[in-house]
Every structure is written in structure tokens, then in C-alpha cells.
């Protein structure tokens, strides 16, 4: 799904047209270009997040959500649009049920936000199923933004915050939902409210996330913090561009990709070294090479959105480098898993302990302890 969505996005900016040379390529990749947003936002991200949540729920039926969503995306590529819409809608409905279960287990701010995010995915898929696919990305982005925000709240819930921080966050979320609802009837007003809410969320997380402090720490914490802070900056840019687009400015590409690539993929790159081992039960060897695709993504996205705003060539080049950054990150994650497994195999096996030797060492340790206390030997 990710590969097809990326290829579809490249085709939309004029890169990789040779893939359309054959009839089969024209059909499959042509559909990937048409349904680029659905494949990426709902198909890929929806399925991945549903897998993570099913693991957290620890009930087998929860895996029906990613199974249905994934099958829906594949059906979309196959040209079965009606079946794809039904499967994706069913997957989102199961996903909402999973969050109802999680909310029953633990009713906290972050679980409530996750439940709202699940409802937003269902709303977007419902719009897509009823032929209003152009309106669906508004809700798909609510799904992704609230999911990321809720997970950051969960990870940092013990960090000290000002008393007004949480009420302010809930007010921003309410404005985001209001903007999404209003966009269906009053696109200009709804888009302005929606964009302002996205900007406010970016500022809120930049102020209250622990990334402001962990960016000064070494190793993985600094890497994660830089990814997070970069993502929050793109969230502000995306909100500003969304608001400008609603007012008639030509900033749709910036709005969509500052959010989808700048914010969401920065979050993915930042959290992957932590979430992937927890979900997939694999070990991952972190290293400085993880910074390479992150820097490449930020630079190529800036080239695409700012340099490519007036130059189609720079836009195409930036888009190709965006895709290369994502591919490089995937390759580095695989190499980090391989490196961790190799290191585990090469580690010397634990030396077997002889029972008599262990008993002798224990006796010596006890004797030394008694000598320090001045006890008489027994």
C-alpha cells in the first residue's frame, strides 16, 4: 500500500510516467495516482495504526480492523471501488469498537482522544464510500493528528504541565472537529477554523512536549525529539497553508503534504525505533545513520513546497527525493534489525556456572561480609 501510494503520488507530479507504458501498469498505477490520498492516509496509515491498536487491545477480533482495511486498499488498487469502500468502512467500524473497549478499560484524556480519532477515520471512510472522496482527507487528517497527539500525551503524561495546558488542548481539539464539520457546508469558514486549530496544536505540542528537554539528551532521545519538533513545525505550516487555501490562495499541495509528509512521516520516523520493537517483537540497533533520511525528508520537502511552488521541475525533484527519503528510512530500519540480530548471534554465550564453584564464591562473600561487620565465624 505504501509503495503504490508513493508511486501514485509521483505520477501526479509527472515523475515515473514510464510505469504507465503497459496496459496493466496504466490500470494499476493509474488507480494509485487517482486514489493516492485514500491509499496513503486511510489504507496505509489506517491499517498500520489498527495493527498497533490491536496489539494493545490483546483481543483477537481487534485484528479484523487492519485485515478489512488492508483488503479494502488492495481492492481499490484492483479496481473494485465499491468493495474497497465497504471493506474500509467495516474496518474503521471495528476500529471504533476496539477503542470503545480500550476506553472502558482506561478512561483518560489520551484514550478519549484516540476514540475521537477512530471516529474521524470512520467519518472519512463513510464520506469516501458515499462518493464524497474529496471531503474525506479533512477527516483522515483529524484521525492522524489526534492519534499522534494522543500517543504523545500517553508517553508524556507524567511530565509536569501547567494546569491550563490540558483544557487548552481540549479546546483546540474541539475547534479542529468544528472546522472539519463546518467544512462540508461552509468550506471557507470551516477551512479557516480547521487551519487555525492545526496551527494551535503544533504550538501546543512544541510548548508542552518533553521533546523540548530531551533534545539536549544524547542518543535515541535526541533523535526522537528532533523528529517531533520538526513535525510540529510542519503542522504549523500545514495549518497555515490549509487556512490560506480556504481563503483562495494556491496552497493545497503545501497543506496536504506539510501535514502528510512533514508532520506524519516525521512522527513515524521518530517513533519507529520505539514502537516497532514493541509491536513486531523485534530488536532494533539505533545509530547515527537514522538521521540521514530524516534530514533528507525535511530538506526535500522544503524544496518541494517552497521551491516547487512556482517551478514544476523543482516540485517534481522534491517529490522524487521525498520518496527516496522514505525508501531510505525503510532500508535503514531493516538494516538496524539485521544488525541487532547479528550482534545477538555474535555475543558470547553465558559461561556455565559450576554448582560447587558458585557455593564456594557465596561462602567467600558471606565470610567477607561478616568480617566487615566484625562477626565471629560460625
- Identify the band that residue 320 occupies on the pLDDT scale cut at 50, 70 and 90: very high
pLDDT confidence of residue 278: 77
pLDDT digit string (tens) for 235-246? Answer: 999 999 999 999
pLDDT digit string (tens) for 24-35? Answer: 778 888 899 999
Res 22 pLDDT > 50? yes
pLDDT confidence of residue 342: 86
- Identify the band that residue 373 occupies on the pLDDT scale cut at 50, 70 and 90: low
pLDDT confidence of residue 45: 95
Q: Answer for the pair 91, 53: CB distance below 8 angstroms, yes or no.
A: no
- Identify the band that residue 44 occupies on the pLDDT scale cut at 50, 70 and 90: very high
pTM, rounded to two decimals: 0.86
- Identify the band that residue 325 occupies on the pLDDT scale cut at 50, 70 and 90: very high
Mean pLDDT of the chain: 88
- Identify the band that residue 376 occupies on the pLDDT scale cut at 50, 70 and 90: very low
pLDDT confidence of residue 353: 46
Half-sphere exposure of 19 (CA within 13 A, CB side): 18
Res 139 pLDDT > 90? yes
Full 3-state SS string of the chain: CHHHHHHHHHHHCCCCHHHHCCHHHHHHHHHHHHCHHHHHHHHHHHHHHHHHHHHHHCCHHHHHHHHHHHHHHHHHHHCCHHHHHHHHHHHHHHHHHHHHHHHHHCCCHHHHHHHHHHHHHHHHHHHHHCCCHHHHHHHHHHHHHHHHHHHHHHHCCCCCCCCCHHHHHHHHHHHHHHHHHHHCCCHHHHHHHHHHHHHHHHHHHHHHCCHHHHCCCCCHHHHHHHHHHHHHHHHHHHHHHHHHHHCCCCCHHHHHHHHHHHHHHHHHHHHHHHHHHHHHCCCCCCCHHHHHHHHHHHHHHHHHHCHHHCCHHHHHHHHHHHHHHHHHHHHHHHHHHHHHHHHHHHCCCCCCCCHHHHHHHHHHHHHHHHHHHCCCCC
Distance CA 280, CA 316 (A): 35
- Identify the band that residue 377 occupies on the pLDDT scale cut at 50, 70 and 90: very low
pLDDT confidence of residue 250: 85
pLDDT digit string (tens) for 341-357? Answer: 888 887 666 565 444 45
Longest dimension (CA), the chain: 92
Distance CA 138, CA 343 (A): 45
Which residue bears the cell 534489525? 337
Mean pLDDT of 222-230: 94
Mean pLDDT of 283-306: 93
Residues recorded for the chain: 378
Q: Name the least confident of 154-163, 166-175, 242-251, 319-328.
A: 154-163
pLDDT confidence of residue 363: 59
Mean pLDDT of 133-152: 92
pLDDT confidence of residue 378: 42
pLDDT digit string (tens) for 193-210? Answer: 999 999 999 999 998 888
Mean pLDDT of 260-283: 88
Amino acid at each position: 500500500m505504501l509503495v503504490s501510494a508513493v508511486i501514485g503520488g509521483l505520477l501526479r507530479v509527472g515523475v515515473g510516467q514510464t510505469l504507465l507504458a503497459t496496459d496493466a501498469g496504466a490500470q494499476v498505477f493509474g488507480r494509485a495516482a487517482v486514489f493516492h490520498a485514500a491509499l496513503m492516509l486511510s489504507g496505509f496509515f489506517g491499517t498500520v495504526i489498527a495493527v498497533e491498536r490491536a496489539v494493545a487491545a490483546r483481543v483477537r477480533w481487534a485484528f479484523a480492523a487492519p485485515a478489512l482495511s488492508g483488503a479494502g486498499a488492495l481492492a481499490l488498487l484492483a479496481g473494485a471501488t465499491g468493495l474497497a469502500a465497504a471493506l474500509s468502512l467495516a474496518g474503521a467500524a471495528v476500529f471504533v469498537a476496539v477503542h470503545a473497549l480500550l476506553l472502558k478499560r482506561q478512561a483518560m484524556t489520551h484514550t478519549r482522544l484516540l476514540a475521537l480519532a477512530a471516529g474521524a477515520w470512520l467519518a472519512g471512510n463513510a464520506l469516501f464510500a458515499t462518493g464524497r472522496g474529496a471531503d474525506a482527507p479533512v477527516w483522515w487528517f483529524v484521525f492522524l493528528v489526534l492519534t499522534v497527539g494522543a500517543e504523545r500525551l500517553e508517553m508524556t503524561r507524567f511530565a509536569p504541565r501547567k494546569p491550563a495546558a490540558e483544557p487548552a488542548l481540549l479546546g483546540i481539539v474541539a475547534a479542529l472537529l468544528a472546522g472539519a464539520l463546518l467544512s462540508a457546508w461552509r468550506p471557507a469558514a470551516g477551512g479557516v477554523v480547521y487551519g487555525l486549530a492545526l496551527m494551535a496544536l503544533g504550538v501546543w505540542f512544541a510548548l508542552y512536549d518533553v521533546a523540548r528537554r530531551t533534545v539536549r539528551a544524547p542518543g535515541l532521545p535526541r533523535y526522537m525529539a528532533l523528529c517531533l519538533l520538526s513535525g510540529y513545525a510542519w503542522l504549523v505550516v500545514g495549518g497555515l497553508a490549509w487556512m490560506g487555501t480556504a481563503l483562495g490562495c494556491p496552497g493545497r499541495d503545501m497543506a496536504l503534504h506539510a501535514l502528510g509528509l512533514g508532520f506524519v512521516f516525521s512522527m513515524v520516523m521518530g517513533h519507529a525505533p520505539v514502537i516497532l520493537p514493541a509491536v513486531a517483537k523485534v530488536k532494533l540497533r539505533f545509530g547515527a545513520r537514522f538521521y540521514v533520511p530524516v534530514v533528507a525528508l525535511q530538506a526535500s520537502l522544503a524544496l518541494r513546497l517552497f521551491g516547487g511552488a512556482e517551478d514544476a521541475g523543482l516540485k517534481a525533484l522534491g517529490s522524487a527525493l521525498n520518496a527516496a527519503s522514505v525508501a531510505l528510512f525503510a532500508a535503514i530500519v531493516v538494516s538496524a534489525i539485521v544488525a541487532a540480530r547479528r550482534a545477538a548471534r555474535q555475543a558470547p554465550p553465558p559461561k556455565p556456572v559450576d554448582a560447587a564453584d558458585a557455593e564456594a564464591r557465596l561462602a567467600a562473600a558471606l565470610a567477607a561480609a561478616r568480617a566487615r561487620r566484625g562477626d565471629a565465624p560460625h
